[in-house]
Structure 1
Amino acid sequence: MHPCRPRFSAALIFALAVVLPPTALAGPTQLDAARITALESAIATQDIKQVTSIVLLVDGQVAYEGYFNGGSADTLNDVRSASKSVTAMLVGAAIGDGSLPGVQARVYDYFPAFTAHHPVDPRLRATTVEDLLTMSTLWECDDENAFSAGHEERMYVTEHWLDFVLSLPVKGFAPWMTRPEDSPHGRAHAYCTANSFVLGAVLEQATKQPLADYAAQALERPLGITTSRWNRSPEGIGMGGGGTRYRSRDLARLGELVLAEGRWQGKQLIPARYVRAMVSAQATTGDGSDYGYQWWGLKLPVDGHETTIWTMSGNGGNYVFVIPGKKLVAVITSQAYNRSYAHPQSRRILTEFLLPALR
């Protein structure tokens, strides 16, 4: 057997089908063997580099599962900013259980100790949870601009991340920049990890629990996820913006939950209305992609047509793709961190190999 070829058994496929309930009664999908062989060959020859796992679910059942380059079913994958999408799901869970009143909740209201001792511009005082979710706050924060006051690397070297973010100045709009009122969806999007970090801090205040504990209670245990790892800031606040670690199959469970609009084994873990908003265009990114609530709407070719595919996305080429029209969830984990080829090659795995293999 080829050293990169995954080893399956009927028992393994059956077991996974049990923990990941099918959305419809159907047998395992038969894939085009030639496409899968080509995919494994590309990984083996380093045409596709540093990918550690690929899991494909169709109709809730495992159609393909492979581990490469030292990855395994038990590996806790550092999915970097794909963590942001999980944090967005936790916001939905908190709205569903009443911990948060809704996406219009005002962010600074959750930090009275800060506002008691720091003057806050009224425009920033009006910042909502939805502003954080859509990366459209008025904080001067842009991870794609090394000169930005709120750039994530500046936050990481401070002792108090929360104070750092809440103290950021109001963003200015140079003549060549698009103002919120002139932007698609009325929001000027700027990718800012600090937004996601503060979301985690809001969740901790609202739920009265550490972020990792609330994640376990609201999502992980109900989904059968028994192992994960969440990072914390120097002051001990859960890091909702990156570095969370999950096993590949557990990432697939998260994707399946979104595919099922928040319902799992008869229980509504996240309100369906929230899930639909989460994976709908709420803002437009600089490259023309849609952006929902910390989920990306990528424009990718499907069956010869450009299609919006909603996905969790993280540095290194880590993805969880969700395609409702095909009842499909695809997980790709990769360690190509900070490599220019990381994202294109993971998208290529989906569009050049996995989707065509379904035909």
Structure 2
Amino acid sequence: EAFENDVPEKHLITLEHLLTMSAGFRWDEWSTEYGHPQNDVTMLANSGDWILHMLELPMAHDPGTDFTYNSGCSVLLSGIIENRTGQTTAAFADKQLFQPLGIDTWGWDSGPHELTNTGWGLHLRPIDMALFGYVFLNQGRWEGEQVVPAGWVQTSTAVHIDAGSQNDYGYQWWRFAEGSSVANALATNDLFFAWGYGGQFIFVIPHLDMVVVSTADNFDNGTRAFNFLRDYILASVQ
């Protein structure tokens, strides 16, 4: 369907660009607090059609050339999953992931048109966060079953783009960049992690056979868990 700002650069955006948050849209959700009228997440949340809102954004960079943390890229992934599977992302995840793992206590917010909010709306218990990390630690296997393809585990958690601030980024997974304080505390820099708003983390450290989960209410400084991980947990096991 036609949409405004349909410039040629948008036709170059790939699934990988969305996964690595390098689609090139003009976007800023970190300069102002969440909930502020000028925050791009607020404007997305208040729009009546999240997919159309994202598609009509102006471009700031050529796709694949610049990392900009963009919750809207994750929302577009939800639309793609829905389009390809014929079901909501929440329903797809329940059948393909949550049920095989025995996760039966979870919630996932939705936006307009029942679009699953993959930008910031997933609710899991800490024990189930740890289970998710454990599955990735074990190359996608759980109780003898291959729940997540091993190739996807390897590809999605690898470094694909420099995210700045001593971080790298994979396919929706974070990595600590070489030379960062946490990477320097590791014998092997193979740690990858999921990062949720307010200090929710799943840290997976393959060479230590370890998963660390952190939940918090640190909406002003969600990275405090990095110091705790480095100074206490890693210091006690190296």
TM-score range for the pair, normalised by the shorter chain length: 0.7 to 0.9
- Structure 2 residue runs without a partner (length 5+): none
**Structure 1 counterpart of 2:202, which letter?**
V
> Matched residue pairs, number?
230
Rounded Cα–Cα distance in structure 2 between residues aligned with 1:282 and 1:123: 21
In structure 2, the residue matched to 1:236 is 114
Question: How do 1:77-226 and structure 2 match up within 5 A?
Answer: 114-115=1-2, 120-145=6-31, 151-172=40-61, 187-226=65-104
Tell me how far 1:266 sits from its aligned partner: 2.3
Deviations 1:38-89 (A, max 9, x none): xxxxxxxxxxxxxxxxxxxxxxxxxxxxxxxxxxxxxxxxxxxxxxxxxxxx
Q: Which one of 262, 266, 291 corresponds to residue 169 of structure 2?
A: 291
In structure 1, the residue matched to 2:234 is 355
- Structure 1 residue runs without a partner (length 5+): 1-113, 173-178, 181-185
Q: Are 2:218 and 1:336 aligned?
A: yes
In structure 1, the residue matched to 2:225 is 346
**Structure 2 counterpart of 1:310, which letter?**
F
In structure 1, the residue matched to 2:198 is 316
Rounded Cα–Cα distance in structure 1 between residues aligned with 2:10 and 2:56: 10
Rounded Cα–Cα distance in structure 2 between residues aligned with 1:302 and 1:118: 47
- Please report the RMSD computed on the Cα atoms of aligned residues, expressed in angstroms: 2.3
In structure 2, the CA distance between the partners of 1:303 and 1:161, relative to structure 1 (3 Å rule), is: closer
**Structure 2 counterpart of 1:273, which letter?**
G
Larger Rg: 1
SS in structure 2 opposite 1:165?
Answer: helix
1:145·1:151 contact (CA, 8 Å) conserved in 2? Answer: no
**Structure 1 moving runs of 4+ over 4 Å:** 301-306
SS in structure 1 opposite 2:215?
Answer: strand
Tell me how far 1:217 sits from its aligned partner: 0.6
Deviations 1:275-325 (A, max 9, x none): 111111100012131100011102415656683521001121111000000
Q: What TM-score comes out, normalization by structure 2 length? A: 0.88
Q: What TM-score comes out, normalization by structure 1 length? A: 0.59
1:159·1:234 contact (CA, 8 Å) conserved in 2? Answer: yes
Tell me how far 1:353 sits from its aligned partner: 1.9
SS in structure 2 opposite 1:276?
Answer: helix
* Higher relative contact order, chain-length normalized (CA < 8 Å, sep 6+): 1
**Structure 1 counterpart of 2:100, which letter?**
P
1:193·1:241 contact (CA, 8 Å) conserved in 2? Answer: yes
Tell me how far 1:211 sits from its aligned partner: 1.4
Rounded Cα–Cα distance in structure 2 between residues aligned with 1:150 and 1:354: 35
Rounded Cα–Cα distance in structure 1 between residues aligned with 2:183 and 2:148: 29
Rounded Cα–Cα distance in structure 1 between residues aligned with 2:9 and 2:139: 34
